[in-house]
Amino acid sequence: MLWPASLNLLKFQEKLFYKDIIGFGDRQFLLYRTIKETPKTTQEAINLVKKYWHCDTVLKKENIYYFCNEIKPIDYEEIRH
C-alpha cells in the first residue's frame, strides 16, 4: 500500500520545514535544526555544521544544540499621508 509511505514522507517534510522562534534574553532567534550532544560532538564539528546550515548562532541547553539565525530588530519611521 502506497498511502502509509506517502504519509510518512509528508510528516518528515513537515518536520524538516517547521521553524520555531526562540527567545533568549531580549534577542530572538529563528530555529533551523537541533542536534543532541554526543561524545563525537566537538566544537570543530559544531562550527562545520553551523557553516553548512548557514546559521549565525548556536545555543546549547540540556545537551541539545540549537542552530539558529538571529532575528535582527529593525529601526523604522512611520510614514503618514
Q: Is position 36 within any domain?
A: yes
Q: Is position 50 within any domain?
A: yes
Q: Is position 7 within any domain?
A: no
More confident residue, 79 or 11: 79
Return the HEC string of the chain: CCHHHHHHHHHHHHHHHCCCEEEECCEEEEEEEEEECCCCCCHHHHHHHHHHCCCCEEEEECCEEEEEEEECCCCCCCCCC
> For the segment 7-66, what is each residue's pLDDT rounded down to a tens digit?
444 444 445 455 688 888 889 999 999 999 998 889 999 999 999 999 999 999 999 999
Q: Is position 53 within any domain?
A: yes
pLDDT at 13: 44
Q: Is position 52 within any domain?
A: yes
Domain that holds residue 29: 19-71
pTM over 0.85: no
Instruction: Quote the number of domains for the chain.
Output: 1
